[in-house]
Structure 1
Amino acid sequence: MSWLTAGSGTPDVLRDRVALRVGVPMLFPAHRDVVFVATDYDQQLVHLDRGFVREVAAERFDVGTREMRFDHLRPADSLIVRQWRDSLGALARALREGGTGSLVWHEAKRQTVDAFLRVVPPQLDQLPAELLHPRQAKLRAAVEHIHAHADDPITITELAQVAGLSVRSVQEAFRRTFGVSPLSYLRQVRLDRVHEELLGLDPRTVSVGQVATRWGFAHLGRFSASYAERFGEYPKQTLRR
């Protein structure tokens, strides 16, 4: 998590171009290369262990074995931000007073991760029921990879490596199970992500084009047609709800 205490900065000028605000935490997109630009700034960072985050998340959410993904651009209200700051204050006191081997430090860490999960709750996709059978384990690995990395460039070769199958076998497995190619399935997931974001965004501060481009849709006309076919309305209608 990253936030500024002074100055200005944008953590990802190549893609999201969303500016940091002083005192407001934002999850840094550390899973991919970024270019960070800042001016006259003082920045604070907190690194959270992914395994520990999963352990705490399992107590609050139905995580199971699914890959957790987080919306690093999710806005947080002032109360949640205050809870996050309070947890960091308690964590610092626990470190000074008890050290890293103390019970108070352990509990403060858990409270900090709990506060983090309030700022950016994990987003868990409901995978198709067809993948629950053990014999679908290899296909499930490919599908989970798509859901976990839908905001990254994904190739069929990459999916084949994840699943431990040949490229042809991956293509056949997707068509047999879902009736579409792997890349068509990926586009459907990306459309779902756009839909999720548009439902929660303010049309005064964001455009459909910005969200669509972030999810890899370069041709807005074709995107709008595909979106309307999937959701029964155009993306502008969703954004204006």
Structure 2
Amino acid sequence: MFSTIYFALLSGLAQKNRLPTYATAMLDGASERAYCLVDDVLERPAHKLVEADDARLVAVADASLLLGYEQDAEEMYRRAQKMNVGDDNRLRVLSCRNAGWQLMMRDRYGATAKCFARIVHDDAASPADVLEALIASALVHHQVGRQRDADDSLLQAAELADMHEEPGWRLVIALLAHEFDVQLRIRTATTLSDHAFWSSAHLARAQSAGDRADITRKLTETTMLMSPMPALLAQRHEYLERLAMLARGERIAVAPLVELVSHPKHFRGAGQAFLAKIDIVLASIAGGLDDVADTVLAKISRAEADTGTRRCNFDYLYSVSKLAVWRGNPTEALKLYANYASEALRCLRCETQGLGATQSAASRALPADDISARLTVKYRRAYRYIVENLDRADLNTREIASQIDVTERALQLAFKRSIGMSPHALIRKLRLESIRNDLLNDERMQGSIFDTASRWGLKSRSALAKGYRREFNESPSETIQR
């Protein structure tokens, strides 16, 4: 997926005021240089870190993640979050943001979407936090074929960006809208009609051609100016233009694109050169240039092929099966296509379950699967115990701590550092979300609202009324009337 391109752009924009030289390097696509500009923070012991260093820790973690150093990134994110212990609001947003990008790089789209949706509807999130979360949500929805939801997230982001003083946000939104348009035109081309994942997603979820054109026009038409134009933005736009030409069968676009992936100075880390090759293969097939597709596919190394068979990367599996047909190997093609179909179906089942549109998340409870990813391995056991015993009114922090053999204080600190809330606050939040899910379910058990709350361990009517309105900005009875 091309999400790392936008992660670099968003990381640069988010740090533009606090770390201008780092931001410039990121916006130019120089992630290695960006890393070197902030890696001095790694040499400082914890007791010598100052308040401004949390931004440097997040920045060096972002650059590490882009360069493929996932373990280093996780450690730096945790150090940054530890610096914000005591500021629950900032810690909560930072935890969701950092975990969201880590999960996206692992192709765990369902949990990624939940992390960023929480930011969008968190009153403590800044406009920049929300903009980043909305754009990331659009990336996730697109990747799992939910283009209508992806467009809705981008439209919401564009409205917010138009009021923001930083023009870069609006330019990134315009670029991503163009990206979606090009990628969709390639993957739903007539010559790729057997690309079952994208064909079914297009038929089931996409707008009519006129609607999509109107949305793309709204998102790409902008009067925002940014001088100088970030190199990464300009490079990606040029790349997309050539990709679109190739999809139209214009051979003139072949040489520049092949040159680009042969010397991938702009595709470093996280398999970006590999993903660019798959883009070119699919665009070539869409344009009827199967010989070009075969030539580019042959440039994929064994190591890249191993990356290509990881979870949810069905574009690679499809490309291999499609070109096996072109080479005259129908038996092999059938076997490869079966692998592709199986992986596409697995991804849909695993990653889209419970995945909802970002703009409507405020009107439904969000499943909390992402919380596990934000906790350390040891404390995931505590979270699992909470979920399994959520319906017990007497569930308390002391009992949870004893289950993993830590003190109450250690449990509280670990939860605060990782997710920005105490175990008690998490229990309350999970109960309210579960109650809301039941109230929104047409097949829920009969009984009063308080009966539903009691089944989830909430025995106080006043706590239900106050907590529910604070969490969802409406009463339980208003939820039922939806």
Which protein is bigger by CA-based radius of gyration? 2
Higher relative contact order (CA 8 A, sep 6+): 2
Which structure dedicates a bigger proportion of its chain to helix?
A: 2
Q: TM-score, normalised by structure 1?
A: 0.43
TM-score by length of 2: 0.22
